[in-house]
Amino acid sequence: MKDSFGRDITYLRLSVTRRCNLNCVYCGKADCEKKEEELTAEQFALLAAAFADCGVRKIRLTGGEPLVRGDIVEIVRYLRAIPSLETLALTTNGVYLARYADELRRAGLDSVNISLDSTDGATYRRLTGADVLHKVFDGIEAAERAGLAPIRINAVLMKGVNADGAADLIDLARRKRVDVRFIELMPFSDEGEDASRRVTGAEILAQFPFLRETGGADGTAVYYTAEGFVGRIGLIDPVSRKFCGQCSRVRLLCDGSVKPCLGDPAEYDLKPFLNDPARLREEIRQIIQKKPAGHRFGEAKQFHGLNQTGG
């Protein structure tokens, strides 16, 4: 269905948990060890089906870290059974992906995004608080073997922290059939509020002038490639290149609340309508009409506690 600004809302980002097994500096992690407010797999399936009835055709499972849920494969299986769903994807930090890739693919998962901000072990450990980079690379290999596609690597660069590793990340797209996507730092933590750390897509293009636009875009990322590359480079600039006019998504949080826009504080609770399918669909339609014209990242303080790459 269309929102009040004429945008087709076809994409649901479903956060199945706020918990995470890493502590990335830019996420502003908050309350990530609590699970008492998380909905069950059956409740997520009920809500997802209602969103599909309202026009959603793509669902991305996010967190926190979705693979910390022991029933993640069951959730995928439930969602894959929704007849009108065209695409089912997942965003993960990759630490547990080698364990789950085959099961997830068999359950019906199509594609995976993997958060990876550095290929250097020491830098990765400083950014995430964990010495598990080898597990992430194992997860990428497992995703390839399982047939998940596309595989996308999401990286957030920060000046003075990991920006000097951009070339090594770009090299992954040269060697492997993956999309390496650089996501502009957003104001979800103290680090995110420091605009001097932000690396824009324009700065990346200036540093790597051999990149050439492919003409491909997915509403958020603009894609580039270069001679000899197997994969692509994507640039996502929600702050410096606002793309709200093409936004097709809403977000369902793990407690049953909906955020029509990640960059706006408004939330609406759907739990009271779980036992009334007709009322639930009507509430979803009304919430979609409340989606704002654009994000409010300029009012940074209100976004602490959000996940930069999971959402």
Give the model confidence (pLDDT) of 159-201 as tens digits: 999 999 999 999 999 999 999 999 999 765 455 457 789 999 9
**Residue 308 placed within a domain:** no
Q: What is the pLDDT at residue 157?
A: 96
Q: In terms of pLDDT, which residue wins out, 295 or 53?
A: 53
Give the count of domains, the chain: 1
Note down the domain range covering 227: 11-303
- Number of helical (H) and strand (E) elements in the chain, helices listed first: 9, 12
Mean pLDDT of all residues in 280-306? 77
In a domain, 89, yes or no: yes
Residue 132 belongs to a domain: yes
Q: Is 4 part of a structural domain of the chain?
A: no
Contact (CB, 8 A) for 71 and 38? no
* 243 Cβ contact list (under 8 Å, min separation 6): 219, 220, 237
Is residue 299 pLDDT above 90, yes or no?
no
Q: State mean pLDDT over 218-243.
A: 88
Residue ranges of the alpha helices (H) in 36-176?
Answer: 41-53, 72-80, 97-107, 121-128, 133-146, 166-175
pLDDT at residue 121 is higher than 50: yes
Please say if the pLDDT value at position 28 is more than 50: yes
Residue 310 pLDDT > 80, yes or no? no
pLDDT at position 248 over 70? yes
Q: Is residue 226 part of a domain?
A: yes
Mean pLDDT of 137-151: 98
3-class SS shares of the chain: helix, strand, coil, % to 5: 35, 20, 45
Residue 93 forms part of a structural domain: yes
Domain annotation covers residue 189: yes
At 241, list the tokens: 């290149």
Q: What is the CATH number of the domain that holds 214?
A: 3.20.20.70
pLDDT at 2: 95
Check: CB of residue 181 under 8 Å from CB of residue 155.
Answer: yes
Q: Average of pLDDT values for 52-57?
A: 98
pLDDT tens by residue, 83-101:
999 999 999 999 999 999 9
Report residue 138's pLDDT band, with 50, 70 and 90 as the boundaries.
very high
pLDDT above 50 for 279: yes
Average pLDDT of the chain is 91
- Neighbouring C-beta atoms of residue 31, cutoff 10 Å: 10
Task: Kindly state the percentage of the chain with pLDDT values over 90.
Answer: 78
Element holding 205 (H helix, E strand): helix 201-207
Position 1 in a domain:
no
| Whole-angstrom distance, CA of residue 160 vs CA of residue 156 | 13
The kind and range of the H/E element at 115 are strand 111-115
